[in-house]
Amino acid sequence: MTQQDPHAMHANLLFNPQGKDEVEVRTIIKGSTTGLFNLNAVKYPWAKSLYQVMIGNFWVPEKVSGLKDDARMFHTDLTVEEQRAYKGILSFLIFLDSIQTVNLPHFSDFITSPEVNLILAIQAYQESIHSQSYATILESVVDSHERDEIYYFFRNDPILLERNKYIGQIYQDFIDTPSDANFFRGIVANFLLESLYFYNGFAFFDTLVDHMKMPATGRMIAYIRRDELTHITIFANIIKEIKREFPAIYDEKLILEMMDTAVAQEIEWSTHILGNRIPGINGQTTREYTRWLADQRLGMLGIAPLYKEAITNPYKHLERLQDPNSDKSNFFESTVVNYTQSTSMNGSWEF
């Protein structure tokens, strides 16, 4: 008789009449689900609250105006270095949202909480909207013969290829071998992708806007970033629930190792694609910002800073950027701070 691997994970059955998914026995993973979405009985109130935020963030790229002006600016106002960075960063962002759209259901299949499955489904929808956003930007701003070059930038850029392969392989490892260790590694990779990998690219577009360039692209990125902040919160809470319910699976050493690797990759890629001839951004600010941001993200998990010297954000102009739906809240920083005030223990959200 073949002995089953105690560390293997099994996808949820589509319908399981013998399932036990009452709140008192519900767990974030490894539960026995019926397959029903009983959203009146909720164990994780942070997920129910986050649903309201995500639904309230609904937007579509076709409603963002001004891209025709960006097309003119791209050819007349951007330097050659800024054009290269614009295209290369879009390529990386396209990859990140593409792989999230396709891969999120693989992880959701192993989440045994319907309220968390619900917000993961909304996240997958939002990632597909982001992909359409990039398509809208490319259709409006760059010449048609450049679009495939941007989508497949990795084919001629070995640094980007290695970045894409790294995150892709982590996800593929879990798909091929759904074990406890591969699941947790994949969840941490999701957190790093959402919380770190996008943000030097976002900072580049913000810097262009601060110099009165490409404002419509900047607005599109602002909407995408607003969504990504909720996605960070999803995976931060999943990681914290695993720590609470399955401490044997939780691995803080792995989180720190993967964060350090992600920071090194992000600095290498950003320095490579941004160069040193873009006003407001250079190799030093990239290093300072990436390490500062990494420590902010670790704080969301209740983990001490990894880079204790990185105590300030060098991009002060980011603090002036506002949430498109508010003239009061600081979109970049205070939204993350507010999200981290949520607690999975009592479900309260403080805004």
Catalytic residues: 134
Taking alpha carbons only, the member of 260, 351, 249 closest to residue 303 is 260
Backbone phi, then psi, for 322, in 5-degree steps? -110, 155
| Secondary structure letter of residue 33 according to DSSP | -
Helices (H), 196-246: 199-210, 215-245
Burial class (CB in 10 A: 0-12, 13-18, 19+), 85: buried
Burial class (CB in 10 A: 0-12, 13-18, 19+), 186: buried
Q: Which H/E stretch holds residue 151?
A: helix 147-151
Is 311:292 a contact under the CB 8 Å cutoff? yes
Taking alpha carbons only, the member of 277, 272, 332, 247 closest to residue 92 is 272
Is 273:89 a contact under the CB 8 Å cutoff? yes
Burial class (CB in 10 A: 0-12, 13-18, 19+), 291: buried
Q: Which residues pair with 281 in a beta bridge?
A: 278
